[in-house]
Amino acid sequence: MLVLGIESSCDETGVALYDLKAGLIAHHLHTQMAMHAEYGGVVPELASRDHIRRVIPLTEACLAEVGKTLADVDAIAYTQGPGLGGALLVGASVANALAFGLNIPVIGVHHLEGHLLSPLLAEPRPDFPFIALLVSGGHTQLMAVRGIGQYEVLGETLDDAAGEAFDKTAKLLGLPYPGGPLLSKLAEEGDPARFSLPRPMLHSDNLDMSFSGLKTAVLTLSKQVEAEHGEIDEPTRKDICRAFQEAIVEVLVSKSLKALKQTGMKKLVVAGGVGANKQLRAALDQAALRRKLQVYYPPLALCTDNGAMIAFAGAMRLQYATAPGSYSIKPRWDLSTLPAA
Ligand code: ATP
Ligand code: MG
Ligand code: FE
């Protein structure tokens, strides 16, 4: 059973082939980051147009890599939501048109379920149940995951997502778009002892989080430093990046441990773009070692948006595959409404 997966929810076109027996056999990705950089953010119309340009060549590249043709594909999974409407429509239209021509079924996949299940594409593979820390550009949630489609939100950010906080903070520090990964790179060389920023909601008695204040705290700190020492030099900027990262990582680790303790679960699965953050991974691994917990991550390349997670989630939901034809997208879509699989 060979599933073709297509991701086009935002600014990455991802295509992959997942075989129920052989696993992930091919995945190709095109990121539009460079294209949007000049505008300092994703331009939806440009995103849609670029998905149109990329999706077929990426599909052909996947098939060619493993010596297969479209005739070998048994079902097509595509990101149905949430995401940018125009961008989603490209993947949905291509998936349905291809499937219609091939006379095979389609499966509309929830983008966040894709992220959430992506750690199952790595070895060792976690068994259910587990706590999932979903930390992406648009979402930050702690979930109890008892099976595919059985997601209970235990806590979430009340304002900015963790990735969004990375990106916005990077922007106000003058880093080029997309700032999150770059900020984290600079933070690695910063001194953790020089500045200290607040840990928002660290001691709240729930699992909710808040990151928008942290961004403001960085702005205040930067202004303070500028007032005292003049323009911020490179080492100081690295120290500020480090202070920001220290704060956000401590909150994410602390809330994750709290979720594990509260539910009595022993496994934590991290998913989404911020899951690529080295300091977060190191801090979680260290905390887990001390408490005899297991932490699982997606392969590094599959933390941010990709087609592999969509092909995989689709393969797990084949029971919900339908005939192609009329289709809809869901730019807003609540993960907890998914049926169990
Ligand atoms: P969503 O999945 O919620 O719709 P998204 O698809 O934009 O949002 P992802 O692709 O999962 O989010 O992740 C992108 C985010 O991850 C960006 O905000 C980016 O800054 C952040 N990110 C990527 N790498 C790192 C890193 N090493 N450290 C911190 N943040 C990172
Ligand atoms: Mg992206
Ligand atoms: Fe995403």
Domain harbouring 222, CATH code: 3.30.420.40
CA of 72 to the centre of ligand 1 (A): 33
pLDDT band at 178 (very low <50, low <70, confident <90, very high): confident
Q: Assess whether 217 and 109 both reside in one domain.
A: no
CA of 57 to the centre of ligand 2 (A): 19
CA of 37 to the centre of ligand 2 (A): 12
Q: Assess whether 44 and 110 both reside in one domain.
A: yes
Burial (CB < 10 A; 0-12, 13-18, 19+), residue 299, is middle
Q: Assess whether 22 and 143 both reside in one domain.
A: no
Q: Assess whether 11 and 63 both reside in one domain.
A: yes
296-340 confidence digits (pLDDT tens): 999 999 999 999 999 999 999 999 999 999 999 999 999 999 999
Domain count for the chain, please give it. Answer: 2
Q: Residue 230 half-sphere exposure, CB side, CA atoms within 13 Å? A: 1
Residue 81 φ/ψ region, left for φ over 0, alpha for ψ in the -120 to 50 degree band, beta for the rest: left
What ipTM was estimated for this complex? 0.98
Q: Assess whether 326 and 261 both reside in one domain.
A: no
Q: Assess whether 169 and 39 both reside in one domain.
A: no
DSSP 126: P
Atom of ligand 1 lying closest to residue 280 CA = 28
Q: Assess whether 217 and 156 both reside in one domain.
A: yes
Q: For atom 31 of ligand 1, which residue has the closest CA?
A: 274
Q: Assess whether 69 and 152 both reside in one domain.
A: no
| Closest among 172, 112, 113, 117 to 136, alpha carbons compared | 112
Residue range of the domain that includes 258? 127-297
The pTM of this model reads 0.97
Q: Give a yes or no: residue 122 inside a domain.
A: no
Q: Assess whether 293 and 306 both reside in one domain.
A: no
CA dist 201 and 192 (Å) reads: 20
pLDDT value at position 336? 92
Atom of ligand 1 lying closest to residue 135 CA = 11
**Residues annotated in the binding site for substrate, as ranges?**
134-138, 167, 180, 277
**Residues annotated in the binding site for Fe cation, as ranges?**
111, 115, 305
25-67 confidence digits (pLDDT tens): 999 999 999 999 999 999 999 999 999 999 999 999 999 999 9
| Closest among 90, 79, 85 to 113, alpha carbons compared | 79
pLDDT > 90 fraction of the chain, expressed in percent and rounded: 99
Q: For atom 30 of ligand 1, which residue has the closest CA?
A: 274
